[in-house]
């Protein structure tokens, strides 16, 4: 019985068909959860796509996990486009969203449109993602007017870390929660494809998901939303010293890599590598 229900739900999307913005809406309507992960390079993007991930986010978290910055602020539009192109060369099925980096869309809506057009033209991605609600409404409208799908991002918005001063859970108070609900509704009204909710109380996130027709994808937002997103390097256990409560580690790749590299070093030093079969 349970497998029948799962099969019926999964029929919203044939596993091999290209995931589009329409697919995401259908998945929400059918109650099928959306699985989203970040990727920034060809090799990982290929593995994720072949594994059947629905959405790949070329997140500005590349600033952290690829470049070692403390915040996401330093990454440039050119660098996002470089990562986006690498991912797009690998992906056949997943929908690919690319983050508009800090400073590329907040200033004025024409600059926002220029940035979004560059991303779409130079990478071939399916849509862009940006952070904020009412304060970026003009930019969202302008980008959408060019036919570019937009994913919003509310709650903990890392590009505003200097305003927040901390990465703690957002919208725990009534005023901020009300504002978040209004912003989510606004993003839907403007025509956004989906909204990411980061690090907000689970009951608030579930309420927003219930209010909106567009999918709500959570990270640290509990199970009552329409899908989940994690940073790939966190869930694979590559990043270390970062253990928020919401993060489930599916692997300890850092340990595996350390072991492999140590064995290689030992083999080289002890003349165990290369052996007779590993030479010409």
Which residues of this protein are in contact with ligand KIV, per CB under 6 A?
Answer: 38, 57, 59-61, 99, 153, 196, 198, 219, 229, 231
Closer residue to ligand KIV (CB): 99 or 188: 99
Sequence-distant (6+) residues with CB within 8 A of 110 are: 142
Residue of this chain nearest to ligand KIV (CB atom): 59
Find the shortest distance in angstroms from Cβ 230 to ligand KIV. Answer: 8
Residue found by looking up tokens 């470089």 in the block: 82
Prior bond to 274 cis, omega within 30?
yes
Closer residue to ligand KIV (CB): 28 or 40: 40
Is 198 among the residues known to form the active site?
yes
Find the shortest distance in angstroms from Cβ 130 to ligand KIV. Answer: 10
Instruction: Output the six-digit token pair for 44.
Output: 């990982």
Closer residue to ligand KIV (CB): 83 or 93: 83
Three-state secondary-structure class, residue 89: coil
Residue in 32, 131, 188, 198 annotated catalytic: 198
Closer residue to ligand KIV (CB): 245 or 269: 245
CA distances from 34 to 31, 164, 175, 229, 264 (A): 9, 29, 29, 9, 39
Find the shortest distance in angstroms from Cβ 268 to ligand KIV. Answer: 36
Determine phi and psi for 198, rounding to 5 degrees.
Answer: -110, 130
Three-state secondary-structure class, residue 182: helix
Find the shortest distance in angstroms from Cβ 233 to ligand KIV. Answer: 10
Catalytic center residues: 198
């Amino acid at each position: 019985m349970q497998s029948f229900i799962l099969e019926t739900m999964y029929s919203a999307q044939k596993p091999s068909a290209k995931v589009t913005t329409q697919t995401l809406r259908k998945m929400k309507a059918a109650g099928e959860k959306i699985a989203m992960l970040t990727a920034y390079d060809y090799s990982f993007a290929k593995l994720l796509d072949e594994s059947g991930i629905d959405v790949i986010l070329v997140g500005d978290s590349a600033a952290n996990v690829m470049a070692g910055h403390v915040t996401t602020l330093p990454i440039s539009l050119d660098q996002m486009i470089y990562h986006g192109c690498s991912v797009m060369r690998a992906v056949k099925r997943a929908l690919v969203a690319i983050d508009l980096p800090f400073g590329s869309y907040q200033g004025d809506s024409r600059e926002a449109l220029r940035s979004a057009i560059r991303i779409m033209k130079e990478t071939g991605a399916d849509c862009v993602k940006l952070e904020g609600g009412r304060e970026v409404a003009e930019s969202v409208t302008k980008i959408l007017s060019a036919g570019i799908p937009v994913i919003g991002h509310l709650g903990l918005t890392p590009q505003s870390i200097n305003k927040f001063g901390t990465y703690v859970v957002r919208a725990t108070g009534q005023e901020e929660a009300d504002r978040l609900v209004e912003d989510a509704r606004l993003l839907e009204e403007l025509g956004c494809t989906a909204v990411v909710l980061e690090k907000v109380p689970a009951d608030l996130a579930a309420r927003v998901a219930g209010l909106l027709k567009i999918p709500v994808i959570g990270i640290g937002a509990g199970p009552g939303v329409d899908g989940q997103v994690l940073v790939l390097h966190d869930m694979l256990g590559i990043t270390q010293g970062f253990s928020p409560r919401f993060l489930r580690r599916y692997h300890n790749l850092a340990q595996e890599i350390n072991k492999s590299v140590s064995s290689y070093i030992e083999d080289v030093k002890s003349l165990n590598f290369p052996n007779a079969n590993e030479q010409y």
